[in-house]
Amino acid sequence: MSEPTSDPGIILTPEEKRRQRQRNLAIALGLGALCVLFWVVTLVKGSAILQRPM
């Protein structure tokens, strides 16, 4: 049994936490937008999504 370490690791400053939240939000919005894009394109193309001219 090893003793649990007392090293708290890197503690983010309030500014770093704010930026991290902003990045997380941007990634979430980007992924959401990507899902909506795929959904809309599928709706518009219908069965043609599988018939693509080169």
Q: Does 22 bind other proteins (CB under 8 A)?
A: yes
What sign does the CA torsion over 21, 22, 25, 26 have?
A: negative
Q: Does 16 bind other proteins (CB under 8 A)?
A: yes
Q: Which two tokens stand for residue 5?
A: 């370490």
Backbone angles phi and psi of 25, in degrees to 5: -65, -40
The letter for the amino acid at 30 is: G
Q: How far is the CB of 15 from other proteins (least distance, A)?
A: 9
Q: Does 28 bind other proteins (CB under 8 A)?
A: no
Q: What residues line the site for other proteins (CB under 8 A)?
A: 10, 12, 16, 19-20, 22-23, 25-26, 34, 37-38, 40-41, 44-45, 49, 52-54
